[in-house]
Amino acid sequence: MAHARRMFYDALENDTDRADYALQQFGRLYNIERKAKHLLLNAADTMELRQKEALPVMQNLEQWMKEAYTKVPPKSAIAKALQYSISKWKKLTIYTTNGMLNIDNNPVENNIRPVAIGRKNYLFAGSHEAAQRSAMLYSIMGTCKLHNVNPLCMA
């Protein structure tokens, strides 16, 4: 969902009205997610909330996107945003069928970003042994972070 939303953000200069409308609808969906978190809903209640509130927004947005796509220049930024969302629609809506799923994969991407960045840095560790030692330290630091332990205060 974050990727689809980002494409509409990038299309704001191309077609402000359509892009803004789509962003407003995405905002409504994310507000529903914030509501579920604020209320500390369990998975079943989150799914029920999504079915009641998010699914109608998604259905209207899908219909709007299909209609809007027929009215825009095919190679424009807004057309690309619409085409991307329409082609991924089934995957974009699957979160409404399971309260355990996130609306987007940002939490996962944020967690693996350091690994991807580190992978480039490991090429310049100096030696294979130095890279292994760095990997061990990253593992220890990552484990501390997951368990809310300050590694600097460990005895």
The 10s digit of each residue's pLDDT in 1-45 is 999 999 999 999 999 999 999 999 999 999 999 999 999 999 999
Question: Nearest to residue 84, comparing CAs of 32, 19, 30?
Answer: 19
User: DSSP character for 105?
Assistant: S
Q: Is the pLDDT at 93 greater than 90, yes or no?
A: yes
Q: Is the pLDDT at 154 greater than 70, yes or no?
A: no
Question: What value does the CA radius of gyration of the chain take, rounded to a whole number of Å?
Answer: 21
Tokens 């905002």 belong to 27
Calculate the average pLDDT of the chain. Answer: 92
Longest dimension (CA), the chain: 65
pLDDT at position 128: 83
Q: Is the pLDDT at 114 greater than 80, yes or no?
A: no
Average confidence (pLDDT) over 57-69: 98
Which of residues 109 and 62 earns the better pLDDT score?
Answer: 62
